């Protein structure tokens, strides 16, 4: 996209934790389309554990960090450190002294509750991009604060159409006109769409797994919310029905958990005599492609979720999926259920038994659904973000999901 050197660049400030993998992917995708928008990032996260990724982001965007203004020993106490971090962030943002066309907060946490007055001073408009964890797992009193001091004053709320949007609208009493049909894409969806000829057997070989093995993938991160223990216990109940050479895969490359959680999972698997492989190191898009393709059965029963890209990726590979009934995705059920449902954790062994004995109904994946999922790849999703960012000084028509000229 060409533009005149004198053309005005829309100025965007992103308030986010650049230490998270989702934000890093978002920023990396933005570099491909951000010709006439200026993106700056204020990092509200704490210390970064992946310096290589951080350097990559810094080379493409102006990234501001909260400078620590207190003696390092004071940050040792976890609760005291949170207060000090908030003070550090507040002072650092106050010293920016810049004006933006839009401040985009993703997601809206308690830190931003205290910073909202500054956001309103520094920007013409505010957009909140909520994540499922910050909506479904928020304590009651924090929910009230976020509603009254956050969503009430936001100009836009970016979220894809579907159940998650309706839950947010109801929970925080948000007017329909504030919603913008924008969501995070998936680079793995793009990888799968561009590599449809790669076979399951080839993918297993690339992961150093036997081509004849039966692969069950359990969850997709190391958070305890994935309910790994419950999955393992259910698989143990039907262990005699599992095919020969069954291997359990546990992707645990990110997510919140204590330091001993993975060790405890390993010990549990060993006690049951189950063959497994746990991934703790970062997986490249190509490795994730092979993981999705290699999987024969994906079990997804985490406690809460907004709109799982991972589920879509496995559907695109036509994988057999067990999904929690409390995690229904209506937009993926346009032509019937693309997964087997369990209505409770206790029901998981029974559904596993039906699948392993070929007694469960066959899942059909329609072309309509496959085409819909491919639209959620980053290659297409990022263009929608760019269109909104570059036209933010115009008026957004939420009903038509289009930009219209101001009157």
- Residue 256 has a CB neighbour count (10 Å cut-off) of 11
Element at 105 (helix H, strand E): strand 100-105
Q: Residue 159 has which token pair?
A: 């979220």
Closest by Cα among 80, 183, 173, 54 to 130: 183
**pTM: predicted TM-score of the whole model, two decimal places:** 0.84
- Whole-number Å distance between alpha carbons of 304 and 224: 11
Beta bridge partners of 44: none
Indicate if 188-374 has the same CATH topology as 10-185+377-401.
yes
Per-residue pLDDT tens digits of the chain, which is 407 residues long:
444 445 678 999 999 998 888 888 899 888 887 678 889 999 998 755 455 455 556 567 888 888 889 988 888 887 788 899 999 999 999 888 789 999 999 988 889 999 999 999 999 899 999 987 677 777 888 888 888 988 999 999 999 887 888 888 988 999 999 999 999 999 999 999 999 999 999 999 999 999 999 999 999 999 999 999 999 999 999 999 999 999 999 999 987 777 799 999 999 999 999 999 999 998 999 999 999 999 999 999 999 876 779 999 999 999 999 999 998 888 899 899 999 999 999 999 999 999 999 999 889 999 999 999 999 999 999 999 999 999 988 754 444 555 443 33
Q: Given the structure tokens 């799968």, which residue do they identify?
A: 192
Q: Residue 112 has which token pair?
A: 């931003």
Q: CATH: 3.30.70.20, 3.40.50.2000, 3.30.210.10, 3.30.365.10. Which one for 188-374?
A: 3.40.50.2000
- Whole-number Å distance between alpha carbons of 96 and 112: 16
Cα→Cα distances 8→11, 41, 205, 393, Å: 9, 19, 51, 11
Q: Residue 187 has which token pair?
A: 């680079």
369 contacts 339 by C-beta, under 8 angstroms: no
403 contacts 388 by C-beta, under 8 angstroms: yes
Query: If 0-12 CB within 10 Å is exposed, 13-18 middle and 19+ buried, where does residue 244 land?
Result: exposed
Return the domain boundaries, the chain: 10-185+377-401, 188-374
124: Cβ contacts below 8 Å, ≥ 6 apart: 99, 100, 101, 102, 393
Strand bridging mode 402-404 / 340-342 = unpaired
Task: Return the HEC string of 323-351.
Answer: EEHHHCCHHHCECECCCEEECCHHHHHHH
Task: Return the HEC string of 218-284.
Answer: ECCCCCHHHCHHHHHHHHHHCHHHCCCCEEEEEECCCCCCCCCHHHHHHHHHHHHCCCEEEECCCCC
- Please name the residue ranges forming H helices in 108-238: 110-122, 132-136, 140-146, 163-172, 187-194, 200-206, 228-237
25 contacts 47 by C-beta, under 8 angstroms: no
Domain 10-185+377-401, CATH class in plain words: alpha beta
- What would the DSSP string read from start to end of 15-81? EE-TTSHHHHHHHHHHTTT-SSEEEEEEE-----S-HHHHHHHHTTSEEEE----S-GGGGGSHHHH
- Whole-number Å distance between alpha carbons of 306 and 318: 21
């Amino acid at each position: 996209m060409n533009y005149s050197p004198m053309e005005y660049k829309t100025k965007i400030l992103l308030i986010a934790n650049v230490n998270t993998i989702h934000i890093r992917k978002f920023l990396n995708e933005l570099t491909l389309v951000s010709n006439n928008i200026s993106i700056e990032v204020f990092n509200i996260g704490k210390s970064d554990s992946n310096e290589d990724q951080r350097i990559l982001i810094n080379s493409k965007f102006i990234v501001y960090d909260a400078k620590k203004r207190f003696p390092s020993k004071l940050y040792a106490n976890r609760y005291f450190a949170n207060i000090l971090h908030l003070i550090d962030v507040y002072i650092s943002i106050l010293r920016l002294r810049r004006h933006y066309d839009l401040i985009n907060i993703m997601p809206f946490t308690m830190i931003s509750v205290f910073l909202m007055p500054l956001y309103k001073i520094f920007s013409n408009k505010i957009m909140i991009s909520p994540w499922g964890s910050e909506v479904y797992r928020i304590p009651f009193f924090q929910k009230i604060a976020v509603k009254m001091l956050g969503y009430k004053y936001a100009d836009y709320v970016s979220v894809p159409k579907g159940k998650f949007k309706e839950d947010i609208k109801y929970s925080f009493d948000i007017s329909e006109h504030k919603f913008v049909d924008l969501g995070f894409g998936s680079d793995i969806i793009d990888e799968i769409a561009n590599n449809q000829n790669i076979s399951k057997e080839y993918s297993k070989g690339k992961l150093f797994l036997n081509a004849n093995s039966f692969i069950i993938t359990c969850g997709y991160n190391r958070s305890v919310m994935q309910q790994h223990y419950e999955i393992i216990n259910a698989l143990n109940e039907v262990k005699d029905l599992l095919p020969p050479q069954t291997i359990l895969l546990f992707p645990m490359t990110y997510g919140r958990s204590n330091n001993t959680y993975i060790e405890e999972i390993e010990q549990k698997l060993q006690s049951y005599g189950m063959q497994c492989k746990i991934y703790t190191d970062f997986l490249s898009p190509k490795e994730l492609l092979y993981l999705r393709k290699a999987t024969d059965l994906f079990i997804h029963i985490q406690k809460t979720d907004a709109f799982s890209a991972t589920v879509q990726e496995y559907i695109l590979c036509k994988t057999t999926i067990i999904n929690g009934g409390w995690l229904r995705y209506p937009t993926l059920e346009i032509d019937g259920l693309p997964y087997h449902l369990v209505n409770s954790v206790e029901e998981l062994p029974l559904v596993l038994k039906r699948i392993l004995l070929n007694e469960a109904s066959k899942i059909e994946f329609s072309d309509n659904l496959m085409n819909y999922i491919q639209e959620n790849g980053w290659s297409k999703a990022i263009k929608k973000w760019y269109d909104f960012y570059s036209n933010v000084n115009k008026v957004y028509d939420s009903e038509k999901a289009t930009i219209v000229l101001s009157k």
